[in-house]
A and B are shown apart, each in its own frame.
Chain A
Amino acid sequence: MSLLPRRLNASLGLWVAVVFAAITLTRLTSFAATAAEPPAAEAVIRKRLALAIVAEEADQKREIRELALTGSKVVREILSAWPKDRILLYTGDGGVRIPALIEDETDADGKSRAARIDTGAFLADASGKTLRFATTDITTAETDAALRTVLQLALDAMALADPLPDARKTAILKLGNSQKPLNIVILQERLPLENDPDVKKAILESIALLQLGDPDPTVLKAAIEQLGRLRSIGSLDLLKRVSAREGLSPEIRRVLAESIHGIDNHINNVNLVGTFFRGLSLGSILLVVALGLAITFGLMGIINMAHGEMIAIGAYTTYVVQNLFGTGFGFSITLPFSFGGKPIAFGLHLPGLNATGSLYESYFLFAIPLSFLMAALAGLVIERLVIRFLYRRPLESLLATWGVSLVMQQLFRMVFGANNVQVGSPTGLVGHFDINDVSFGYNRVFVIGFAVLIVIGTWLLLTRTSLGLLIRAVMQNRDMASCIGVRTNRVNVLTFAFGSGLAGLAGAFLSQIGNVGPSLGQSYIVDSFMTVVVGGVGSIVGTVCAAIGIGTADQILQQTTGSPVTGKIVVLISIILFLQWRPGGLFSIRSRSLD
């Protein structure tokens, strides 16, 4: 198309590429691969496990401890199934007892298959037919209290050696909170083996937690000091309980008060930083949903009530792309009226790729540009069919776009159903990282980056491309632009499509943090208008400032008032007062077209 200049193409391409790179990076960091065991080693481990289960008591315990050292996934699975009576003892030919793991899933008759522990294959009869067992008439490998303790210790020790640092940390803190001094030994053994600084800190913290129960005052004092130094939030409860004890020496009381005070301060700092981060992330969400509106309403002056539905188109596109990567997508609609005695029905079925693993999860990379395109396409159609007749009548554009929004909501219901649909998050976007106890969710970091990129992209488009120049010219004075030879029709349609496309991008992101349903757009339309109006109609910078400001204020008030509703009310009242003071918003633009 002649109107899309090459420079624009380049800048658009650039920021889409950056978005991709950002996601790929976060995805890669989350692939802390759990290396698969070589098959030979697993076969040996399986044989030893099978023998251990039917072995004599003394041998059994030694064997369990040794197996635990292998850190194998199979061992963990079997050892945790054992005390739950899920190891079947099957009597094979010649009275040999074959242990097997009973499957969780049961069939229609309530029976389940069992996998032989020595080979991993399902138990089968002589003819090779898989056997099924009812839970009521089988003999399982029994455990007694002593054996269960051994199993638990083995499982705890294995959890400490888990390849994932997060899992190790959870296991360590679990031991730390167990209040069993016995566990100190396990933790101290693990300490020199541990390399991850975070996990090391957790071990020190857990040891100190367990030492709080020590009768020796010097150990107790050291433990309290240690916890204070580590700024251990989790220990606050226990420390307070210790301070309620009687007969503590004044020295210990002093240390205790110091540690508790230090931790309290630390919590305040964590909350402060966390609140600002959450404010920034909420602001970014507001910005992402409002930016499209800042173009269609702010620049073009159309009171676009269908903006929310453009967001929904983006979210549904993500859903469809997800399904195309999975089992496929199809729908059928029967219209409520008939033609010539026959009901009118049509449908569509798109086969899926049946992708799995990381290919399936990469659907989101494709969903982002597609949701932009689909929403832009819808915007294009709406502009041609409805809005182009209403540029001089803004109030009527309100009614017309509201009608369009109702029609689109009903379309969503007919195609996707009235219920919300499920959109799964790619693993790269689930999870978080902690810096000094403040947690940063990947999806939140992603939205902040995403918002920065689309703001830069929009700004580049408007100020550094010839299309941007034309857009600004047409929006300032449509007639004059037309007089000097600008094809205002084309500029209008492209601007509206671009604004709608931005809303579609917002939808793709919102599908990762909330609901996708026919009324998705309705929940964001008010927020979008609020952001644009507070920022100043027609000003992109204003929209950015308003979004971040409202988001941060909301989170700070939520934190200080302790209730999400009160926070929101205070924000809304302040906005009303603010608009009384500055009706034009933060950055009001004086322009003939807006007067």
Chain B
Amino acid sequence: MKFSPCNLLGTAAAAMIAFGTATAETVKVGILHSLSGTMAISETSLRDTLLFAFDEINAAGGIKADGKTYTIEPVIVDGASNWPLFAEKAKQLLEQDKVAVVFGCWTSVSRKSVLPVFEKDNGLLFYPVQYEGEELSKNIFYTAEAVNQQATPAVDYLLKMGKKKFYLIGTDYVYPQTTNLILYKYLLLHGIPVENIGGGFRKDADGKVISAGKYTPFSHTDYQQIVAEIKQFAASGDACVLNTVNGDSNVPLFKEIAAAGLSAADCPVVSFSLAEDELRALPTKDLVGELGCWTYFMSINTPENKSFIGRWDAWLKTESYPGVVKEKRAVDSPMVLSYDGVYLWKAAVEKAGTIGVDAVRTALESGSISFKGPAGKTTMQANHHTVKNVYIGETKANGQFKILKEFKDVAGEPFILKGLDEKLAAGK
């Protein structure tokens, strides 16, 4: 073993406990992320954060339950950006390694692929990345932002800014499609007429809108036509763009927007998939002044956040896990939500007094499990989503966000579409 203060602390803590009254034991905890393939760029950061959280808990004395003190032993598996493989790896974690809990998944399709496995084997999964909602499994806890903790607060903010026209654009898959459909209905409810919602609609045979917005495939590069359309749409003023484009397609999109002279002052773009970690690889010069909405920003000015970033930097210097990149690291919302998930689970285990899945779930559902993390206080609710603060920020040239607005204690709600439909029907 390489010498490192972190490991030394861990050993020392474990040694001390061994001499205490409680007996020391390890608990296996699964990490299920893509460490190779197209999603690896994003998901390896989450693995790193999880390892950091485990090291921190072990160094601080582990988890006390079942009359023992548990040290966390991570079991890392690679989903390889391959959705069926995610299900196999989940099965391996639950049936072979018998892990107490799994932290993992990024894309919605990977979550949908492991869901049946977790339900069959009665496992426990913490899911950390903003998603479209319309799902609730008794075996999954969503520390992720639900649509009403990201997209709809952003729209509220834009409405308050006096924006009257909204253009929807996204990558063609489940998260942007669902989110844009919700946003379309949300905008109608807030008095925005259909002709002021741009991007086009697709209707079913009865004339009901089933898809709203403009969609491009993954890795799309030619945004000339779309930006020209946005420019005409925005010509009458008070317009903005709601952007759910994912991944590196954002580069040609924003370069085209900059070239077309659509400034953030006239027609701001709110991006729901661009956080600090993604901004590291984007030309931030072209994004200055554009908006973002998350439940955590690295620039949050609280002692908790400062201390968190300090500990993270210190951990990066000393850790010796293979494959962890040490230079130019940023922290962002999915990473912090992974971190929060670990501590929520720890709090639930200690409340339940056992690592058994059913008891932990009951504790989490009680509504009294909360954690004061870098993003503020996070409380798990009975609906498996959390109550937390939502922030709106403006991109700066250094790849950070300047926080413009904070919504306190927003309760996550997975099922929004049905409520919106009912309200729209009642309004007619």
Contacts and interface: CB of A to CB of B under 8 A. Distances in A.
Interface in A398-449: 418-425, 429-432, 439, 441-444
A281 B280 CA distance: 29
A269 interface: no
B259 A443 contact: yes
A282 B266 CA distance: 27
A435 to B, nearest CB: 14
A562 B281 contact: no
Contacts of A282: 222, 224
Interface of A: 104, 106, 108, 110, 166, 170, 173-174, 176-177, 233-238, 267, 270-271, 274-275, 278, 281-282, 418-425, 429-432, 439, 441-444, 512-515, 517, 523, 554-555, 558-559, 562-565
Contacts of B5: none
A555 B223 CA distance: 10
Contacts of A562: 200
B235 interface: yes
Contacts of A174: 237, 266
B215 A419 contact: no
Given A234-B237, A424-B283, A565-B172, A555 B225 contact: yes
Interface in B194-250: 195-196, 200, 214-217, 219-222, 224-226, 228, 231-232, 235-238, 248
Given A177-B238, A420-B281, A565 B217 contact: yes
B122 interface: no
Contacts of B219: 523
Contacts of B301: 106, 110
Interface in B98-146: none
B251 A430 contact: no
A419 B259 CA distance: 24
B97 to A, nearest CB: 27
B236 A234 contact: yes
B65 interface: no
Contact of A564 (B226, B232, B260): B226
B224 A420 contact: no
Contacts of A173: 237
A422 B225 contact: no
A170 B224 contact: no
B41 interface: yes
B251 A515 contact: yes
A444 B263 contact: no
Given A177-B237, A424-B285, A425-B255, 7 more contacts: A174-B237, A177-B236, A431-B259, A439-B260, A515-B251, A565-B215, A565-B217
Nearest to A178: B237
A420 B281 CA distance: 5
A244 to B, nearest CB: 11
Closest 3 CB pairs of A and B: A177-B237, A234-B235, A441-B259
Contact of B252 (A110, A177, A515, A554): A515
A237 to B, nearest CB: 4
B168 to A, nearest CB: 13
B192 interface: no
Contacts of A421: 281
Taking residues whose C-beta sits less than 8 angstroms from the other chain, chain B's interface range is 35 or more
A181 to B, nearest CB: 16
B282 A233 contact: no
B225 A441 contact: no
Q: Which of B236, B258, B280 has the most CB of A within 10 A?
A: B236
B20 interface: no
B280 A444 contact: no
B17 interface: no
10 contacts: A173-B237, A233-B232, A278-B224, A430-B286, A432-B259, A432-B261, A441-B259, A513-B252, A523-B221, A559-B225
Given A514-B251, A515-B251, A562-B200, A439 B231 contact: yes
B215 A563 contact: yes
B306 interface: yes
B181 interface: no
Contacts of A423: 283
Contacts of B265: 170
B420 interface: no
A274 to B, nearest CB: 6
Given A233-B232, A425-B255, A517 B225 contact: no
A420 B248 contact: yes
Contact of B221 (A233, A418, A419, A514): A514
Interface of B: 40-41, 172, 195-196, 200, 214-217, 219-222, 224-226, 228, 231-232, 235-238, 248, 251-252, 255-256, 258-261, 263, 265-266, 280-286, 301, 306, 402
B400 to A, nearest CB: 11
A555 B259 contact: no
Contact of A275 (B215, B225, B251, B259): B225
Contact of B235 (A106, A233, A424, A512): A233
B248 A515 contact: yes
A234 B231 CA distance: 10
Contacts of A418: 40-41
Q: Which of A420, A423, A562 has the most CB of B within 10 A?
A: A420
A275 B232 CA distance: 13
Contact of A514 (B226, B232, B255): B255
A517 B247 CA distance: 12
Nearest to B263: A170
B252 to A, nearest CB: 5
Nearest to B249: A515
A330 to B, nearest CB: 11
A542 to B, nearest CB: 23
A105 B41 CA distance: 30
A423 B248 CA distance: 13
A104 B402 CA distance: 9
Q: Which of A176, A281, A418, A564 has the most CB of B within 10 A?
A: A564
A236 B236 contact: yes
Given A442-B259, A517-B248, A564 B236 contact: no
A517 B237 CA distance: 36
Contacts of B252: 513-515
Contacts of A281: 224
Contacts of B248: 420, 515, 517
A422 B259 contact: no
Nearest to A559: B225
Nearest to B226: A564
Contact of B266 (A170, A512, A513): A170
Contacts of B40: 418
A338 B30 CA distance: 32
Contact of A439 (B216, B226, B228, B263): B228
Q: Which of B196, B231, B255, B301 has the most CB of A within 10 A?
A: B255
A38 B282 CA distance: 38
A155 to B, nearest CB: 13
Nearest to B265: A170
Contacts of A236: 236
A565 B216 contact: yes
Contacts of B255: 425, 443, 512-514
A198 to B, nearest CB: 13
Contacts of A238: 236
B255 to A, nearest CB: 6
A439 B261 contact: yes
A340 B214 CA distance: 58
A447 to B, nearest CB: 11
A483 to B, nearest CB: 47
A523 B222 CA distance: 12
Contact of B216 (A108, A429, A443, A564): A564
A496 B338 CA distance: 51
A219 B403 CA distance: 45
A562 B279 CA distance: 30
Nearest to A433: B261
A439 B265 CA distance: 19
A280 to B, nearest CB: 11
A418 B328 CA distance: 14
Contacts of B231: 439
Contact of B259 (A235, A444, A559, A565): A444
